[in-house]
């Protein structure tokens, strides 16, 4: 009984830590930047007391949507990574590593170039759809290959190769696009949270929220699935349906990120592991909200660095997430070796 | 009690529509133990997986208490039948207690949170197979034998009426083999648990089974009470023991010790 209470305390403390972390990073993101804004001015913007319209514009129209996007998309990314790791029983699976992000990127780039060339404005929703199509395409390839090679490292290698192929084609498309498109595409194809509008935020919040709720209600079958398909089936899980749902839901989440921020690396792999170590468990009912919060906090932190480290030059978000995320992946792989011995 | 509890009629099993073993007929009563024996690769696991609905039947039907399992809901079947298979399972940050607790799945609510009663059942199951002392250890860090016992506890806390076991004793040392069998005997006595398992240890199969089914080739070779099966000349034929091997003193004594009881 005591052991169980101790665990419960740890869960609550960890959740509290993630919540406060997200909040602090969120405030930092809104407050810190090339124009410094005092805490009082910040509070004024939220309560409507701030009268300086420049300050209000910077906070409410630039930094707020960007910070919200970093939080929502970061959460989505971490959650998508968690689902893929569950699906493949592979601790280093993730939307970027498996080439799903790159597939989404390719289709979005094609759609953008095609439509922008005809001066058609693309809605956020259409972008997500395009990214989803691309994500499913890559996922299809990965699944096809993973059926043939039932091996953890081969799966990752196939994913990385698919990623390279998609990136190469994307680069090709970008190179031959019109000048005006290139500026847009170039920033986006490297991954960035800049230039996100409130209407973008509304769409992504709606899509991610609905997906999150569905995933949360799947936490019970996911927990059974962690023991492998045979036991999940025996416990009464409709394994085929669950597998299908995992693929679709993780692709929706990856698509959302790519549509708005381009490909962002390593968050999907690193955050679930950090969160699992923090909680000392992998129970889906806890991990699903925790990964979401953790991913949000992680991306807020990385975006803060990307914006401010070498201001006014902005780093691409993947540059920062890779610096903090890649070592985690190495750590995970080293840890697994030990376990098997 | 005399009614047939589990029955398979003209069951045909195999992979991807290709039949491996045909015309399997089984009839066992509540609380009976049926053991599948036979050479490696004969299809014992395939039969067990087909009964558990992990593989779809190619022909025939399986009945539990007179009800066709193909028509049962997933939850309904999960509350009646539990399994211990040989598949290696990879867990992540799960203690042995967590693994055992997954057996409560069919009984918990929407989010799978265990109630006090559920924890009571988990505790009891762990005590029954003597894994209580390792309950807080990580599942990946225990030995194969311990894993096997944890998986048995998991199957027990699913509170099944029938349990399917695929080579459940392969990693156990003598003490735990005996203890394992005594647990099975205890459970059949206490709650009329029906058992279908595959075993390689013939001497164990001879001691505990009510019925023995010999799997070899395209059809079931023989099925009957142990005294019918464990005859020297029949075992020689079942396992293709060559005359040269039979010449050896050691081989003869192993086989005859299995058959001595009868």
Q: Which domain holds residue B183?
A: 4-89+161-230
Tens-place pLDDT, residues B41-71:
888 999 999 999 988 899 899 999 989 999 9
Region A270-282: mean pLDDT is 91
Evaluate whether residue B146 is within a structural domain. Answer: no
Evaluate whether residue B213 is within a structural domain. Answer: yes
pLDDT for the residue B197: 93
pLDDT for the residue A340: 45
Tens-place pLDDT, residues A311-331:
778 888 888 999 998 888 888
Tens-place pLDDT, residues A205-246:
999 999 999 999 999 999 999 888 889 999 999 998 999 999
Tens-place pLDDT, residues B128-161:
888 999 988 999 889 888 898 899 999 999 999 9
Residue B80 has pLDDT above 70, yes or no: yes
ipTM summary value: 0.85
Chain B interface mutation, best of A14, A213, A234, A238, highest count of B Cβ atoms under 10 Å: A234
Distance from CA of A91 to the nearest CA of B (A): 9
- Supply φ then ψ for residue A142, to 5 degrees: -60, -40
Percent of chain A exceeding pLDDT 90 equals 38
Instruction: Please answer yes or no on whether B110 and A217 come within 8 Å at the CB atom.
Output: yes
Q: Give the pLDDT band (50/70/90) at residue B112.
A: confident
Residue A21 has pLDDT above 60, yes or no: yes
Q: Is B136 on the interface with A (CB under 8 A)?
A: yes
Residue A338 has pLDDT above 70, yes or no: no
Evaluate whether residue B51 is within a structural domain. Answer: yes
Distance from CA of B220 to the nearest CA of A (A): 25
- Residues in chain A with CB shorter than 8 Å from the CB of B54 are 230, 233-234
- In SS3 terms, chain B reads as CCCEEEEEEEEEEEECCEEEEEEEEEEEECCCEEEEECCCCCCHHHHHHHHCCCCCCCEEEEEECCEEHHHCCHHHHHHHEEEECCCCCCCCCCEHHHHHHHHHHHHCCCCCCCCHHHHHHHHHHHHHCCCHHHCCCEHHHCCHHHHHHHHHHHHHCCCCCEEEEECCCCCCCHHHHHHHHHHHHHHHHHHCCEEEEECCCHHHHHHHCCEEEEEECCEEEEEECHHHHCCHHHHHHHCCCCHHHHHCHHHHHHHHHHHCCC
Tens-place pLDDT, residues A289-300:
999 999 999 999
pLDDT for the residue A341: 39
Distance from CA of A217 to the nearest CA of B (A): 7
Q: Give the pLDDT band (50/70/90) at residue A7.
A: confident
Residue A51 has pLDDT above 80, yes or no: no
Tens-place pLDDT, residues A108-122:
888 888 877 676 677
Percent of chain B exceeding pLDDT 90 equals 38
Instruction: Please answer yes or no on whether A276 and B85 come within 8 Å at the CB atom.
Output: no
pLDDT for the residue A212: 96
Region B191-214: mean pLDDT is 89
Evaluate whether residue B251 is within a structural domain. Answer: no
Residue A150 has pLDDT above 80, yes or no: no
Cross-strand bridge partners of residue B197:
B35, B165
Do the beta carbons of residue A312 and residue A41 sit within 8 Å? no
pLDDT for the residue A316: 85
Chain A interface mutation, best of B46, B92, B100, B140, highest count of A Cβ atoms under 10 Å: B92
| Number of CB atoms found within 10 A of residue A225's CB | 23
Residues 84-123 of B with CB under 8 A from A: 85, 87, 89-94, 98-99, 102-103, 105-106, 108, 110-113
Residue in chain A closest to B154 (alpha carbons) equals: A231
A306-340 burial, b for 16+ CB within 10 Å, e for fewer?
A: bbbeeeeebbbbbbbbbebbeebbeebeeeeeeee
Residue B1 has pLDDT above 60, yes or no: no
Q: In what order do the strands lie in the sheet with B67-68?
A: B67-68, B59-64, B4-15, B18-29, B219-224, B211-216, B33-37, B194-198, B162-166, B81-84
Residue A252 has pLDDT above 50, yes or no: yes
B214 vs A170: CA distance, rounded Å: 61
**What would the two tokens of residue A61 be?**
């129209």
Region B177-196: mean pLDDT is 87
Total CB pairs under 8 A between chain A and B: 78
Region B72-92: mean pLDDT is 88
Evaluate whether residue B33 is within a structural domain. Answer: yes
pLDDT for the residue B216: 85
- Classify A51 as helix, strand or coil: coil
Tell me the fold of A2-97+198-340: ABC transporter involved in vitamin B12 uptake, BtuC (1.10.3470)
| Summary mean pLDDT of chain A | 86
Region A129-133: mean pLDDT is 91
Evaluate whether residue B193 is within a structural domain. Answer: yes
Q: Give the pLDDT band (50/70/90) at residue A183.
A: low
Evaluate whether residue B61 is within a structural domain. Answer: yes
Evaluate whether residue B225 is within a structural domain. Answer: yes
Residue A1 has pLDDT above 70, yes or no: no
- Classify A197 as helix, strand or coil: coil
Percent of chain A exceeding pLDDT 70 equals 92
pLDDT for the residue B153: 93
DSSP letter for A127, please: H
pLDDT for the residue B41: 81
Instruction: Report how many domains make up chain B.
Output: 1
A297 vs A271: CA distance, rounded Å: 10
């Amino acid at each position: 009984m005591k052991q169980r209470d101790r665990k419960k305390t740890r869960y609550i403390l960890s959740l509290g830590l993630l919540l406060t972390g997200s909040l602090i990073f969120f405030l930092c993101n809104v407050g810190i930047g090339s124009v410094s804004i005092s805490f009082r001015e910040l509070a004024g913007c939220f309560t409507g007391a701030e009268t300086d319209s420049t300050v209000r514009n910077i906070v409410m129209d630039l930094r707020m949507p960007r910070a919200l996007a970093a939080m929502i998309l970061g959460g989505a990314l971490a959650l998508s990574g968690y689902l893929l790791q569950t699906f493949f029983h592979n601790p280093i699976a993730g939307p970027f590593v498996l080439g799903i992000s790159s597939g989404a990127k390719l289709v979005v780039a094609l759609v953008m170039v095609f439509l922008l060339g005809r001066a058609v404005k693309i809605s956020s929703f259409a972008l997500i759809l395009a990214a989803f199509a691309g994500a499913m395409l890559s996922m299809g390839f990965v699944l096809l290959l993973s059926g043939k090679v039932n091996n953890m490292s081969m799966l990752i290698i196939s994913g990385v190769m698919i990623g390279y192929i998609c990136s190469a084609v994307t680069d090709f498309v970008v190179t031959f696009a019109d000048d005006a498109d290139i500026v847009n595409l170039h920033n986006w194809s490297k991954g960035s949270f800049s230039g996100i509008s409130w209407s973008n935020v509304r769409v992504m919040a709606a899509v991610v929220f609905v997906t999150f709720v569905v995933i949360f209600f799947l936490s019970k079958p996911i927990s059974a699935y962690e023991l492998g398909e045979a036991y999940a089936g025996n416990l009464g899980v409709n394994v085929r349906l669950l597998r299908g749902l995992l693929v679709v839901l993780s692709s929706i989440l990856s698509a959302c990120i790519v549509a708005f921020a381009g490909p962002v690396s390593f968050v999907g792999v690193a955050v679930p592991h950090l969160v699992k170590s923090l909680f000392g468990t992998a129970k889906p009912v806890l991990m699903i909200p925790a990964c979401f919060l953790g991913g949000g906090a992680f991306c807020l932190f990385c975006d803060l660095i990307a914006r401010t480290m070498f201001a006014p030059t902005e780093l691409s978000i993947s540059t920062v997430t890779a610096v903090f995320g890649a070592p985690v992946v190495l750590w995970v792989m080293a840890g697994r070796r030990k376990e098997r011995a | 009690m005399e009614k047939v509890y589990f029955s398979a009629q003209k069951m045909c099993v195999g992979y991807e529509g290709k039949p491996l073993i045909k015309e399997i007929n089984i009839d066992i009563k509540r609380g009976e133990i049926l053991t599948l024996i036979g050479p490696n690769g004969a299809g014992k696991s395939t039969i067990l997986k087909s009964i558990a609905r992990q593989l779809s039947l190619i022909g025939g039907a399986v009945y539990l208490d007179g009800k066709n399992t193909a028509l049962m809901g997933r939850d309904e079947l999960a509350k009646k039948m539990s399994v211990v298979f040989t598949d290696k399972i990879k867990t992540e940050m799960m203690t042995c207690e967590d693994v055992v607790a997954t057996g409560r799945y069919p009984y918990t609510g929407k989010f799978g949170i265990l109630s006090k009663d559920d924890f009571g059942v988990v505790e009891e199951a762990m005590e029954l197979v003597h894994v209580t002392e390792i309950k807080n250890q990580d599942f990946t860090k225990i030995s194969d034998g311990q894993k096997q016992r944890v998986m048995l506890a998991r199957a027990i806390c699913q509170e099944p009426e029938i349990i399917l076991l695929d080579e459940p004793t392969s990693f156990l040392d003598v003490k735990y083999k005996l203890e394992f069998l005594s647990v099975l005997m205890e459970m059949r006595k206490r709650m009329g648990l029906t058992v279908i398992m595959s075993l390689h240890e013939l001497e164990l199969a001879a001691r505990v089974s009510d019925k023995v089914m010999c799997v070899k080739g395209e059809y079931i070779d023989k099925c009957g009470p142990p005294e019918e099966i464990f005859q020297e000349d029949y075992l020689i034929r079942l396992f293709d023991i060559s005359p040269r091997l039979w010449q050896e003193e050691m081989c003869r004594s192993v086989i005859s010790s299995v058959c001595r009881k009868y």
